[in-house]
Amino acid sequence: MATTSTTKTKKATAAKEPADTAATTEVSEYDFDGWTQEAEDAALIQMSDVKYIIVEGNFIGRFGDGTIVKIPLSIKLSMIDELQADFDTPIDQFRHLLRTFAGEEVADDLSDRSIVPVAVMSEKFFRALSRAQELAFPESKASSN
């Protein structure tokens, strides 16, 4: 039995050595201790490189790779009702709007993109839509101050 015990100890030791080396390599490769909120913010902002403008009632968004999407902000109430009834997430709602106004190819392109820029673009669209409604009632904002 002593032989079996010695063999197990040698195997366990042999298995630990490469793992310890790998862990040391990973630690020196990444600076976990120096990571700050500012570094995180900068890294996350880089991931979400999307911009937009509003031109003649249209939301025109541009992804980091230069792809442009265009959706009108003058959506009928019946379409909003349909979006809310048929789609649970803003990303799915945004994809449906793209499919409706820009075509299948543009909507399908979203599936090949990283989730972060797509989520940011859809959020920016719905915020622009909401902001258009808010700006229609400037007196409401003034009275709430």
pTM, two decimals, is 0.68
pLDDT, tens only, 30-82: 888 889 999 999 988 888 889 999 999 999 999 999 999 999 999 898 998 99
> Nearest to residue 113, comparing CAs of 43, 44, 66, 53?
66
Distance CA 42, CA 34 (A): 14
CB 75 within 8 A of CB 97: yes
Distance CA 25, CA 38 (A): 25
Indicate the DSSP class of residue 56.
Answer: T
